Copies of this chain bind each other. A is one copy, B any other.
Amino acid sequence: MPQPSADLDTVLGKAVTILRAFTVDDQVLPLAELVRRTDLPKATVHRVAGDLVTNRLLDRTPLGYRLSGGLFELGMRASVERSLLELAMPFLQDLYERTHETVHLGVREGHDVVYVAKIGGHRQAKSPSRPGGRMPVHCTAIGKVLLAFSDPEVQQEVLSSPLERRTPHTIVAPGLLERQLATALENGVAFEREESAPGLQCVAAPILTDGDRALAAISITGPVGRFRPEAHVTQVRAAAQGLSSLVSRRRSLSR
């Protein structure tokens, strides 16, 4: 539904459709559930899933199928996010150690942000984000800052499509969002105040390429009580800038 759902007339299409039927918080799905989600014929799902198992992309358990470790391994080899992750880790680390709040690294993929890393301590603010998970761009600090530093066309595209409401504070007015993007572009940081989940606030700063486009973004997240986003602007910005220059030295980019 997000993407023009893959071509179902090809084996490969069916295969990835099955794989993508799993969401972040599914552990194991029985055959019947896969049939329901993909609406492919049962026999077909059975066969393809079997093939996926022999190819070590799925695991078979008594309760159903599960995305396998082989898939994890493969995914970790995706060059862009892997090298980004490796380069970023020390910076995220620093940030966490200074603030002891949850730190995120995310990239934009369509109208969503995909979290590449999330680090936090034992008593971290429990946020709905998960590594590998998605959130709409318009309701997160990372998303907004990524959008602010994106091509005007994608920015326009998001602004002109309906903005889903996640909490009472979610920004659903395109005009307001547009103004926030403008100030984010100006200041090099974006904020979020309980727009994606109640009780949470964030600051985010962009990792920039040579051309002033965002490749990724870093954020710090904390609970409304003790946490004041403004207090950490300098730190996120510094980390993001440090990482930016490191990344642009290691050319291997594009995306």
Query: Chain A: interface residue count, which band?
Result: 35 or more
Q: A73-B132, A80-B66 are in contact. Are A89 and B120 (CB under 8 A)?
A: yes
- A12 adjacent to chain B (CB < 8 Å): yes
CA distance in complex: A73, B56 (Å): 17
Interface string of A82-107 (1 = CB under 8 A from B): 11011001100110110000000001
Q: Give the residues in chain B near A160, CB-CB below 8 Å.
A: none
Helix, strand, loop or mixed for chain A's interface?
mixed
CA distance in complex: A131, B75 (Å): 10
Determine whether the beta carbon of A22 is less than 8 Å from that of B80: no
CA distance in complex: A118, B56 (Å): 24
Determine whether the beta carbon of B90 is less than 8 Å from that of A120: yes
Number of copies: 2
Determine whether the beta carbon of A72 is less than 8 Å from that of B69: no
- A252 adjacent to chain B (CB < 8 Å): yes
Determine whether the beta carbon of A79 is less than 8 Å from that of B107: no
Determine whether the beta carbon of A77 is less than 8 Å from that of B23: yes
Interface residues of A (CB under 8 A from B): 3, 6-7, 10-13, 15-16, 19-20, 22-24, 26-28, 48, 51-52, 54-57, 59, 61, 66-83, 85-86, 89-90, 93-94, 96-97, 107, 109, 114, 116, 118-122, 124, 130-134, 252, 254-255
